[in-house]
Amino acid sequence: MLDAAAELDDLKNPPSNRLHDLKKDRAGQHSISINRQWRICFVWKDGNAHDVEITDYHR
Protein backbone atom coordinates (compact mmCIF):
# COMPACT_ATOMS: atom_id res chain seq x y z
CA MET A 1 0.00 0.00 0.00
CA LEU A 2 2.72 2.48 0.93
CA ASP A 3 4.80 1.51 -2.11
CA ALA A 4 1.79 1.92 -4.43
CA ALA A 5 1.04 5.48 -3.25
CA ALA A 6 2.28 8.19 -5.61
CA GLU A 7 1.38 10.92 -3.14
CA LEU A 8 0.36 11.07 0.50
CA ASP A 9 -3.31 11.70 -0.30
CA ASP A 10 -3.47 8.32 -2.07
CA LEU A 11 -3.42 6.77 1.40
CA LYS A 12 -6.76 8.39 2.33
CA ASN A 13 -8.51 5.52 0.53
CA PRO A 14 -9.88 3.33 1.85
CA PRO A 15 -11.22 5.66 4.58
CA SER A 16 -10.58 2.91 7.15
CA ASN A 17 -6.86 3.77 6.82
CA ARG A 18 -7.65 6.85 8.92
CA LEU A 19 -4.59 8.67 7.57
CA HIS A 20 -3.58 11.52 9.85
CA ASP A 21 -0.64 13.68 10.87
CA LEU A 22 0.92 12.94 14.23
CA LYS A 23 1.78 15.56 16.84
CA LYS A 24 4.07 16.21 19.79
CA ASP A 25 7.07 13.83 19.85
CA ARG A 26 5.93 12.31 16.54
CA ALA A 27 5.47 15.60 14.68
CA GLY A 28 6.40 15.18 11.03
CA GLN A 29 5.14 11.61 10.95
CA HIS A 30 1.89 10.24 9.54
CA SER A 31 -0.16 7.26 10.62
CA ILE A 32 -2.56 4.80 9.04
CA SER A 33 -4.57 2.25 11.01
CA ILE A 34 -4.03 -1.48 10.92
CA ASN A 35 -6.67 -2.16 13.58
CA ARG A 36 -7.91 -0.54 16.79
CA GLN A 37 -4.53 -0.94 18.50
CA TRP A 38 -1.82 -0.95 15.85
CA ARG A 39 -0.70 1.75 13.40
CA ILE A 40 1.78 2.08 10.58
CA CYS A 41 3.76 5.26 11.26
CA PHE A 42 6.02 6.82 8.67
CA VAL A 43 7.60 9.99 7.34
CA TRP A 44 6.48 11.03 3.83
CA LYS A 45 9.35 12.54 1.87
CA ASP A 46 10.01 12.93 -1.86
CA GLY A 47 6.96 10.84 -2.79
CA ASN A 48 7.86 7.87 -0.62
CA ALA A 49 7.31 6.55 2.90
CA HIS A 50 10.46 6.50 5.05
CA ASP A 51 11.20 5.34 8.61
CA VAL A 52 8.21 2.98 8.48
CA GLU A 53 7.28 1.24 11.72
CA ILE A 54 4.37 -0.74 13.09
CA THR A 55 3.58 0.48 16.57
CA ASP A 56 1.03 1.01 19.31
CA TYR A 57 2.02 4.64 19.85
CA HIS A 58 -0.71 5.21 22.45
CA ARG A 59 1.28 3.21 25.03
- Give me the residue spans of the domains in the chain: 8-55
Q: What pLDDT is stored for residue 5 in this prediction?
A: 95
The yes-or-no verdict on residue 57 having pLDDT over 80 is no
> Looking at domain 8-55, what is its CATH homologous superfamily?
RelE-like (3.30.2310.20)
pLDDT in tens, 21-52: 999 999 999 999 999 899 999 999 999 999 99
Q: What pLDDT is stored for residue 58 in this prediction?
A: 72
**Beta strands at 20-21 and 39-45: parallel, antiparallel or unpaired:** unpaired
